[in-house]
Amino acid sequence: MKKLNVILLALMMFTSLGAFAEKVAQDNGPVQAIQTAIVKLNQLTTTAYSPRMLNFFVEKEIAPLFDFNHIANEVLLVTNNRLGEEETRFFVNSLKSNMMTTLLARLSQVNSTSFQFISARPIMGGSIAVQLKVNRYTSFGGIYLDLLFHQNKDKQWQVFDIVLNNDSLINYYQKMVLIKVRRYGIYGMLDRL
């Protein structure tokens, strides 16, 4: 009987510790996501990587910070067209590839850039805007960058937009997609993204 009580007590403690750990993880969700994003972006810009390692790091560490499905859905709102599941997946992957390639190209042009946390503020819809200063990017100091975080369908905090000089990444892609759809049609746009 004592063994059963010990086993039940251990099981209760294990269950309560698991519930406590889950609660702590939920409480620190946006804070944890913001800290992780800043650390990984700083790792990307301050560590010397070979091209192969850099691509691997971006794919495994930087890309998961972004909610590409949400970004793609927002971008496609301007087309007034519904894409099938396969076309949407293709568009999401093209957008992801385009964004990560651009990020790598921009960051490889500068030496020893670092990201400094400035502020975080709530915005409409339960999202969070995080302002970062990009140090040593330009000769006259730094520039400011806003990362917009939201909770995705899986309740994970991810970046869904980047704002630089009041120009949103989603707005940029919406304009680009709209021009390409008018010129080439929806499927022509998919080929030319």
Q: What is the pLDDT of residue 71?
A: 93
pLDDT in tens, the chain (193 residues): 554 443 433 334 434 333 333 433 444 578 888 888 888 877 777 776 677 777 788 888 888 989 999 999 999 988 877 888 999 999 999 999 988 888 777 666 655 567 888 889 999 888 999 998 877 655 566 678 899 999 998 889 999 999 887 789 999 999 999 999 999 988 888 888 7
Residue with structure tokens 């339960």? Answer: 126
Q: What is the pLDDT of residue 20?
A: 35
CB neighbour list of residue 68: distance below 8 Å, 6 or more residues apart: 92, 95, 96, 99
Question: Can you tell me the distance from the alpha carbon of 119 to that of 26, in angstroms, rounded to the nearest whole number?
Answer: 21
- The CA radius of gyration of the chain, in Å to the nearest whole number, is 21
**Domains of the chain (ranges, CATH numbers):** 29-192 (3.10.450.710)
